[in-house]
Structure 1
């Protein structure tokens, strides 16, 4: 499900909600100017149920910075796709090439902006959690608000711990500068424990579905799916399988028959989407920039001819030919290829492939409708199969899950066995492990998963170094490259923060 900003930003409360979503302030100017986002100013005015509702909405708005907002963070693709064998960037001015080449320096603006966005999101959640208890609300409403912001906080921390490893663990509103200096980096196990607690509460207190003006807010299924992914990332395979099994075998979410329809801007709220960050074009300030960011460096005349909008493509996330080769090896019947990448309209002038998952007609260069899908049913099916397989080998249930994804990739009915494409009952653990790695790469390309998948399965170093060998480049990675640098600005501001190994 996705959050409908069309409802949120229309009507009498639009201006107030937008102001809260963009940030709030206290009367202490010096406090505002400090860099560390854990020292965001306290928010005045939480005195009634509407202000708490607005605070929850502001927490949702902060997800746009985590997944990509024009003028802010470039989003999760910088960490989840560019360092992987799926993508490369031809844009050096943004310093995205440092992620591609593993030459990151700790003053990289993309690392800094994502850190700021992360702790801004967490701060907004903590404010609601700290203040809603004093507001007159029914227990059910209060717990639902708590559950929503704890889901958002868990998602922010999950991305953070995968990006940086140990991070400051802030679970309460920070009101003074001295208090802020008490937060250094905490062990990964502590961060994951908090994530699990937040998601367990969210799972118990979120509704199964959201409708009307609430459409797009977190649901029980979103909390369950994210918790399953968190458990899988920690190699808690039995717990992950138990958590994911009801979603994988239930009917709440299903694979769409046509792969391309998952990403169509006319079909954003569909049965495959478990949770997505919603964007809405129309000069409301909540449109997405992905069409422009990922488009080749077309001229305005070329983009107008192609999709009816005048802007210049920026090539932030270009499809690597290695991924194209993987799709080619998968066979011409793999329908995912047509949606996942294409050549430019003038390949002589620019030969870089680009993804078609984020094509829309924006009203301006950074004002399109494309949502960013965080969790969808295909991901759950593949995670469930992986969690089962890692406990000693595939079962019939695991093979059923992955075979549904394979059948859909060939435009076949997902619920009907097909001896031509199905993995057979005798599939070994090693064979399924290799196939799942491939299927996740092809199924979820450019959705922010590939790098984190490789790290989770301990495959990043061998896969990436083999990729560099195929590409005939000298780059090689080691254990230090599996995490990203803590922003130097944060270390300079808060001296108790430490740097990850391998970075200055």
Structure 2
């Protein structure tokens, strides 16, 4: 039989509104819709699904679509979760927030309280996404589909579930591990925190299945859905995070040395909204502007509080930036030390035109002309080829020390940063064969900071490499801050609302 991949709008009207416990473990359904990026949805899901809603291939297709729409909550949705940058950039030495009214400053200053709304909203977004994936996995087996189509759907939602758990385990450590559909609110109270090792084991299983069942490429209306390469890259990152260095190196080698993905010759073109899902991008959370409720807010969230004239000059319309995620001068200093030939600097940060004395730097990776303040086109890049090259080099270096392949991977990134051909050796910039393990370790840390700034990597890179405490405390000393962090600060608090709702949940050390 042939399965139909529909393109029409389709939504469910379901009957039971969830409660806090339902939100905790994802007793939430979905409504779905299609647009230019067809696996995004229009409506915010708030309903418990009915069994009758899953009767054919169309309903399962829409269930997968709903799972993809969760990615906007992971990485930032206007009116919803501020997204990943709150956890991955603001706590780091790359970024700070000018805004205190939203309590984003608690991430910047390491003064987090467990009732912080951003911790709560990300928890809810995580388990809502997991629930959507579990619903598809529970229901699709009874629907008439070809084996290949069913396994592809399974692979897509298992990839999304793995991504959700990977983000969660890095944020909170031990978390509830839910792998089946929850059909009643009382059932939700049975899930306490499970050891991070168990969560990682499930992530690895999900990604192995996804890797085996997803296509090598996605095209047409499916462009942006998960691929085999996305599963491989994410699995490599999961293994690297667990310090399974040789396994990570083996997993990432084919991507790092293959031809499916490549570094774009021009660094700025990676982020152009006219060049989305280019050859460097392995996976991204997708957004589309046009007053559909599917646009991204990163342009104005990260932009300075411009005057109308300044924002009009930059964006073609007057929008007030909110400075949620502002470039720290310490990152600017790192780029300055890298040299004037580092072409990444021009895209990574700038000052406003006609800056005032107190003007703040901002990143240009998310510049677009929005149709409204929170309706821009910018996708959030989750995985790209430069990330894979640097992860591969790190894994090889930690497993067995520098070798030619590890140095080649890093040198490609360095060459591109100097606007040089990436596959042509250049003695003026390449790391020499005599590079030591420690020297390569230090260089990879720097290159990841400069290459991937404001893409949601810096804080978790520092945690993964056991460098967060020394690097951040040195940063605080350097900048004259009295802040100091310790082991307790490497995880974020479990939302107090969830503990109050489900008392078997426990809090992370250092938080009330």
Q: With the length of structure 2 as denominator, give the TM-score of the two structures.
A: 0.93
Partner of 1:4: none
Match of 1:299 in 2: 307
Which residue of 172, 177, 201 corresponds with 2:180? 172
**2:24–2:123: 8 Å Cα contact kept in structure 1?**
no
Aligned to 1:428: 436
Aligned mates of 1:29, 1:250 — CA distance in 2: 48
Shift of 1:28: 3.5
Residues 321, 360 of structure 1: alpha-carbon distance in 2 compared, 3 angstrom cutoff:
same
Match of 1:348 in 2: 356
> Where in structure 2 are the equivalents of 1:4-403 lying within 5 Å?
13-14=8-9, 16=10, 19=11, 25=14, 27-29=15-17, 34-40=22-28, 42-44=48-50, 45-348=53-356, 350-403=358-411
1:50 and 1:444 map into 2 onto residues whose CA distance is 38
In structure 2, what is the Cα distance between the partners aligned to 1:372 and 1:134?
A: 34
CA distance in 1, matches of 2:479, 2:20: 47
1:79 aligns to what SS in structure 2? helix
Aligned to 1:459: 467
| Deviation (angstroms), 1:74 | 0.6
Q: Is the 8 A contact 2:335 2:342 kept in 1?
A: yes
1:420-439 C-alpha deviation (Å, 9 max, x unpaired) = 00000000000000000000
Larger RCO, structures 1/2 (Cα 8 Å, 6+ apart): 1
**Residue deviations 1:258-289, cap 9 Å, x none?**
00000011111210000001111111111000
| Local SS of the residue matching 2:498 | helix
Offset at residue 34 of structure 1 (A): 4.9
Q: Cα distance 1:34–1:271, how it changes in 2: closer, same or farther (>3 A)?
A: closer
- Structural RMSD (CA): 1.4
Indicate how the Cα distance of structure 1 residues 69 and 29 shifts in structure 2: closer, same or farther if over 3 A, else same: closer
Change (3 A) 1:113 1:414: same
Does the C-alpha gap of structure 1 residues 456 and 33 become closer, same or farther in structure 2, counting only changes over 3 Å?
closer
Q: Indicate if the aligned counterparts of 1:222 and 1:274 stay in contact, CA closer than 8 A.
A: yes
Tell me the matched-pair count: 488
Deviation of 1:228 after TM superposition, in Å, equals 0.1
TM superposition shift of 1:301: 3.5
Is the alpha carbon distance of 1:29 and 1:221 closer, same or farther for their aligned partners in structure 2, counting shifts above 3 Å?
closer
- The 2-side partners of 1:201 and 1:405 are apart by 30
Distance in 2 separating the partners of 1:239 and 1:36 = 33
Moved more, 41-50 or 450-459: 41-50
Output aligned runs, 1:438-453, within 5 Å.
438-453=446-461
- Report the TM-score when normalising by structure 1: 0.95
Cα deviation, residue 37, structure 1 = 4.0
Shift of residue 31 of structure 1? 5.0
Q: Which residue of 2 aligns with 1:3?
A: none
Whole-angstrom CA distance in 2 between matches of 1:93 and 1:219: 40
Q: Report if the CA contact (8 A) 1:42-1:173 is conserved.
A: no
**Of 465, 471, 477, which aligns to 2:479?**
471
Query: 2:392 and 2:98 mapped to 1: Cα distance?
Result: 36
Q: Is the 8 A contact 2:402 2:436 kept in 1?
A: yes
2:213 & 2:356 partners in 1: Cα distance?
Answer: 55
For residues 108 and 80 of structure 2, the distance between their equivalents in structure 1, rounded to whole angstroms, comes to 20
CA contact (8 A) 2:302 2:326 kept: yes
Q: Aligned equivalents of 2:20 and 2:500: distance in 1?
A: 17
Contact 1:299–1:313, Cα closer than 8 Å, also in 2: no
**CA shift at 1:350, angstroms?**
3.8
Residues 65 and 117, structure 1, Cα contact 8 Å, conserved in 2 = yes
SS in 1 for 2:383: strand
Contact kept in structure 2, 1:294 and 1:314, CA below 8 Å: yes
What per-residue deviation string (whole Å, max 9, x for no partner) do you get for residues 136-172 of structure 1?
A: 0000000000000000000000000000000000111
